[in-house]
Structure 1
Amino acid sequence: MTSPTSRRSIPLLILLALIWLPGPAATQPLTAPQQVVEKVSDELMRVLREDRQLIERDPEYVYRLVDERFLPHVDFERVSALVLGPVWREASPAQREAFGEEFKHMLIRSYAAAVNELSEWEIQYLPMSLDPDARNAIVRTRILRRGGQPTAVDYRMVRRGERWLAYDVSIEGVSLLANYRSSFVRLARERGIDGLIADLADRNLERQGS
């Protein structure tokens, strides 16, 4: 559904949206959305340091890790609605639920595959002000990797009750949800919503068997 280049890059880049690596100490107190980034980053770093061998030999462990530790920090219903765009409004409740399950399954396996590609880097938080009543926020960062140019990565987050959840990430201004949406909407228009769901289910079965 995407170009070969997109297929290679999307899993690792999306992983950045959910699994943030720690960086230099902040020069000012972090806001609540930034604190979510910090909390999840600490958990991932612990896992990468302590469980690297287990990650490499047991794919099911990685799937559980992504599902149980990282996806709870994502507003998955909002992600599903945004990634389907106008198709979401046309889908029945049953279709929305089925799409959400297959899409989540696809992301879990994509994230799990990307874990083994991770290497050390640092993340710099750009200064951020947040109104106490704010419902949405953008956490702007710069990813620094040895021998590479800094990469601008912006995390879009929404507040649900007292929690801040991620729902999109932009890499150098390119939204990853928009990347998925272009292919998903096209496929849904060609095959119908049920056809899109069936296509995702088939892809998930192929990955499970690989």
Structure 2
Amino acid sequence: MQKLIKNYAIFGLLFFGLMPMAQGMAGGLQEPQQVIQGISDQLHQKLQNKAFTSNFAQVTRFVDGVIQPHTDFDVIAPLVLGKHWKTASPGDRERFKNEFRTMLVRSYSRAFVEYNNWTLRFQPIDAGGDGKKVVVRSEVLQPGLNPVQVNYRMYLGKGGWKVYDIIIAGVSLVTNYRSSFSEDIQKKGSLGALIDSLAKRNAEALSGKGS
């Protein structure tokens, strides 16, 4: 699972695009695109401050505060656990949601600090029949490399547009973690053991003892 987490640190970077879009592209964005762009701008502005980013726990709290209103972990957590969510106790569901969110946020935070030379280019939105679910399509650009296709699955709820999955070059965050966690649960013997492992890793990372 450690390799998967490292790979998704890059997903974290791509999740909202670290750099603002090229000038002239911000006008005319649809509302879901504006959400992604707004998050990108907030992160880029703050995380260019080297004094601020020297405190990783502080960075993690900031990143969580920026992305949390626009990311629905109440939807993501059941999708990631799949069949294991149905049999989990209410306590384990809540613990998993919190530890999974912490793991993603700290992975994203480290990626945001380490990578800073990206730009984001939006493509036309794919919308469903009622317009309440969309796929925001974009490309992440970095000098000297081919563009990376990044699609955000979003839905419109009472709190506005929220992300519930991201697909990088055809690879879904939800699907990949579902497969990885299912294997881990089988190896460790229970969902509780998986949650304990996530909690330990999160605590070590946030205390500076782990990654």
Superposition TM-score, scaled by structure 1 size: 0.88
Contact 2:139–2:150 (8 Å) recurs in 1: yes
Secondary structure of the structure 2 residue equivalent to 1:109? helix
Secondary structure of the structure 1 residue equivalent to 2:120? strand
Matches within 5 A, 1:39-58: 39-49=38-48, 51-55=49-53, 57-58=54-55
RMSD of aligned C-alpha atoms? 2.1
What residue is the counterpart of 1:196 in the other structure?
Answer: 194
Matches within 5 A, 1:64-75: 64-75=61-72
What is the total number of aligned residue pairs between the two structures? 206
Q: Which residue type is aligned with residue 198 of structure 2?
A: L
What residue is the counterpart of 1:160 in the other structure?
Answer: 157
Cα deviation for residue 162 of structure 1 reads 4.9
Residues 28 and 160 of structure 1: CA distance in aligned 2, closer, same or farther (over 3 Å): same
Q: Which residue type is aligned with residue 53 of structure 1?
A: A
Structure 1: state its 5+ residue gaps.
none
What residue is the counterpart of 1:102 in the other structure?
Answer: 99
Cα deviation for residue 19 of structure 1 reads 4.8
Superposed CA deviations along residues 166-198 of structure 1, whole A, max 9, x for unmatched, are 111111101122221111112223411111111
Superposition TM-score, scaled by structure 2 size: 0.88
Residues 31 and 198 of structure 1: CA distance in aligned 2, closer, same or farther (over 3 Å): same
Cα deviation for residue 121 of structure 1 reads 1.9
What residue is the counterpart of 2:30 in the other structure?
Answer: 31
Residues 85 and 147 of structure 1: CA distance in aligned 2, closer, same or farther (over 3 Å): same
What residue is the counterpart of 1:77 in the other structure?
Answer: 74
What residue is the counterpart of 1:120 in the other structure?
Answer: 117
Q: 1:93 aligns with which of 90, 94, 99?
A: 90
Secondary structure of the structure 1 residue equivalent to 2:62? helix
Cα deviation for residue 108 of structure 1 reads 2.2
Superposed CA deviations along residues 103-155 of structure 1, whole A, max 9, x for unmatched, are 12212221221122222222111123657942211000111110111111111
Which 4+ runs in 1 deviate beyond 6 A? none
Q: Does 1:14 align with 2:4?
A: no
Structure 2: state its 5+ residue gaps.
none
Identity of aligned residues (%): 36
- CA–CA distance in structure 1, aligned partners of residues 192 and 65 of structure 2: 28
What residue is the counterpart of 2:168 in the other structure?
Answer: 171
Contact 1:140–1:154 (8 Å) recurs in 2: yes
